[in-house]
Chains A and B, each alone.
Chain A
Amino acid sequence: MTDYFNEMYQGGGVRVPYARLEDWMRAMPAELRSLKQAEAEALFRRIGITFAVYGEGGDPDRLIPFDMFPRVFTSAEWGKLEKGIKQRARALNAFLVDIYGRGEIVRAGRIPSKLVYQNEAYEKAVAGIKPPKGVYSHIVGVDLVRTGPDDFFVLEDNCRTPSGVSYMLENREIMMRMFPDLFRENRIEPVDRYPELLRRTLASVAPEKCEGEPTVVLLTPGHFNSAYYEHSFLADLMGIELVEGQDLFVQGPFLYMRTTEGPRRVDVVYRRIDDAFIDPLCFRPDSMLGVPGLMDVYRSGGVSICSAPGAGVADDKAVYTFVPEMIRFYLGEEPLLNNVPTWQCGKEDDLKYVLSNLGDLVVKEVHGSGGYGMLVGPKSSREQVESFRHRIMADPGNYIAQPTLALSTTPTFVAEGVAPRHVDLRPYCLVGERIELVPGGLTRVALKEGSLVVNSSQGGGVKDTWVLAE
């Protein structure tokens, strides 16, 4: 029986950050609880936040379950995480600048060149182009899990356009509306600065040619996209225009937006469209979502694109293994946050190990996401394990394996009352002229008893995440 770290109860007592929540929980009768749960659901429906997190697909109108029991970190715990996350975000950006420049890390033999230059996400079109302030990934979503009081592991990095931050903001908003007393009794760091920090981050990477206050827009693929709600929500909070490709056009060396008062020059595009679709003259010629000529404007310094095209190389699951190397190589520091030990099935020795320990491991597709195409060995039947074995053997390079981590649990409201459920965490680190991290993030919770899969498509929910002030 694995011993899971319970973030609230340890050794028969309540851990400090959860002290006040104990009383709150005990004081809440079952009727009030279901009333509040219904209220929360109604609020989410009214706001319209029903999109699938992390582009997982599924029913776009499905509501992701919200659990009212907050997840809490002390100021000291957060301080450590913050340093580790910022360190990682710096190294990932340094890596991107390097591989599209001189490629020192490859020359030094610290990462196999194949992983970099034959990576699907490598964009030849931006080789030799340095984005403003040397930032490729302006929003780095670092997925973390906890296995003990001081043990945190990074599961993966998201360097392109990590989604889900609207949940961080909405979960807090709803908790404050429903339980104002909780926020008086606990000193909780606010997260509502995030939109303003994001706007400032984006503005800080405006190109040198920008005159005056930068004009920033959010480029969305449109309302049929599963994260459209988040796009419009963030644009609204930042006070910037939400645009689609057809609202923008290139004229001469600049990008413009159509407005009722005529064309207006755009300096920074926060795009929520994949590289392949942003410019039919550079990437997929059949794309209708992007802006023809955008890449020429970008590459000649007329506009900034966030995240910069080509940033995806850094968040590949195979490249992930080398992030600690990046930290040592570029920053000359030791990694503050640990990677999960990872076996690359593409390597012969690793494959051998994986195949003979399949029942104990978690196996993932290198390019997969959303908890699909994944095997959780200890939670799978013998048949499932065997059928997965064949999939790996057919295409070993497409899989990585990791030990099954003993994910921490936090108390969660379930039908029978309150019970421990496994959680993960995605904070959103902003990288521009400065590196900023709002104290909080999105906690996902596996609502099924015993489940270690927190993805919403697999029965996961979300929680408000608190960082206590000192």
Chain B
Amino acid sequence: MLLSVDHVTTYRYDRPVRGVVQSHRLVPSAFDGQKLRDWSVTVSDGVQGGAFRDGAGDRVQGWTVRGPVSEITVRVAGTVETVDLAGVLRGHRESVPAEVYLCDTLATQADAALAALAEQARDEAGDLAQAHRLSALVSDAIAYVPGATHARTTAAEALAQGQGVCQDHTQALIACARHLGLPARYVSGYLFASGEGAPEAAHAWAEIFVGGLGWIGFDASNRCCPDDRYIRLGSGFDAVDAAPIRGTARGGGAESLDVAVAVRQVQQ
């Protein structure tokens, strides 16, 4: 598929800020499932900072905006050619050993309930079967209800509530996988949804490391593995660690945020 992305994030400050610093992971990963046609990231009045590829294979780019400024816009636009690899992250260069992703974070810690959920998959034969089962279990346990959770909701809280969005599904799935000793991580990206897909376009899913195959994506929100409708940006231990944009403003007042994401299929 050829997918085009138009992703605009606008930050507004009720009083001008002295400066803004951001760290971006906004360039699609390089692997066999996707190829960049064209891609650009711009920040209004922004100065490019250091750029590098980190050990997880993500392209990281720093940005700063000199103040005073009361509004900044981050615009991501481009087209990506995707192919369906049934969720397998093939041809991705990274140096962080998978085992690193066994470590817990606050948002992905398995409480008794998550552990009990994970235990239901323990008897499946092999990592791959376990991972599929875990993903299904999480889909069943947490209903997709936008607005039921917030950015800081932990996996344990989401499960207790029984409702959540892709972030909650992903963090719950990660917690369960790590509980069974499977390395797991949070992936942020975009999803082309052919129906009324707008709220889903900025998406997240989990990757679980399966012996012999490597990293495989699992989207518990959509009960599938990522295919050619998905664009992968970057990964981390949890939602905060994998955030496409991490930033902060110096001085000034409260921040409000507007995000508009459109992913379209381009006719070839």
Residue numbers of A with Cβ under 8 A of B are 100-103, 106, 113-114, 117-118, 120, 122, 124-129, 249-253, 280-282, 285, 292-293, 295-297, 299-302
With both beta carbons as reference points, the residue of chain A lying nearest to B101 in the complex is identified as A124
Q: Are A251 and B64 in contact (CB under 8 A)?
A: yes
With both beta carbons as reference points, the residue of chain A lying nearest to B48 in the complex is identified as A252
Q: Are B100 and A122 in contact (CB under 8 A)?
A: yes
Across the interface, which residues of B come within 8 angstroms of A120, CB to CB? Answer: 103
Report the count of interface residues on B (CB-CB < 8 A): 32
A250 touches which of B56, B62, B96, B240 (Cβ 8 Å)? B62
Counting from the closest, the 3 A-B pairs by CB-CB distance are A300-B50, A127-B55, A296-B62
Question: How many angstroms between the C-alpha atoms of A103 and B21 in the bound complex?
Answer: 33
Q: Are A126 and B55 in contact (CB under 8 A)?
A: yes
Q: Are B54 and A293 in contact (CB under 8 A)?
A: no
* A interface footprint on B233-247 (CB within 8 Å = 1, 0 otherwise): 000010010000011
Across the interface, which residues of B come within 8 angstroms of A281, CB to CB? Answer: 21-23, 246-248
Q: Other CB < 8 Å A-B pairs besides A118-B99, A126-B55, A300-B51, 11 of them?
A: A102-B95, A113-B97, A249-B21, A250-B49, A281-B246, A285-B240, A295-B23, A297-B49, A299-B60, A300-B49, A301-B52
Q: Are B56 and A296 in contact (CB under 8 A)?
A: no
Chain A interface mostly: loop
Across the interface, which residues of A come within 8 angstroms of B248, CB to CB? Answer: 280-281, 292
Q: Are B102 and A293 in contact (CB under 8 A)?
A: no
Q: Are A118 and B62 in contact (CB under 8 A)?
A: no
Question: How many angstroms between the C-alpha atoms of A10 and B4 in the bound complex?
Answer: 83
Q: Are A282 and B47 in contact (CB under 8 A)?
A: no
Is B78 at the interface (CB under 8 A from chain A)?
no
Is B223 at the interface (CB under 8 A from chain A)?
no
Is B66 at the interface (CB under 8 A from chain A)?
yes
Measured CB to CB, the closest approach of chain A to B18, in angstroms, equals 9
Q: Are A118 and B23 in contact (CB under 8 A)?
A: no
With both beta carbons as reference points, the residue of chain B lying nearest to A279 in the complex is identified as B23
Across the interface, which residues of B come within 8 angstroms of A250, CB to CB? Answer: 21, 49, 62, 64
Measured CB to CB, the closest approach of chain B to A277, in angstroms, equals 14
Question: How many angstroms between the C-alpha atoms of A63 and B22 in the bound complex?
Answer: 44
Is B16 at the interface (CB under 8 A from chain A)?
no
* A interface footprint on B42-78 (CB within 8 Å = 1, 0 otherwise): 0000011111111110001110101000000000000
With both beta carbons as reference points, the residue of chain B lying nearest to A209 in the complex is identified as B50
Across the interface, which residues of A come within 8 angstroms of B37, CB to CB? Answer: none
Across the interface, which residues of B come within 8 angstroms of A285, CB to CB? Answer: 240, 246
Question: How many angstroms between the C-alpha atoms of A132 and B102 in the bound complex?
Answer: 30
Is B90 at the interface (CB under 8 A from chain A)?
no
Across the interface, which residues of B come within 8 angstroms of A296, CB to CB? Answer: 23, 49-50, 52, 60-62
Q: Are A127 and B62 in contact (CB under 8 A)?
A: no
Measured CB to CB, the closest approach of chain B to A309, in angstroms, equals 12
Question: How many angstroms between the C-alpha atoms of A245 and B22 in the bound complex?
Answer: 17
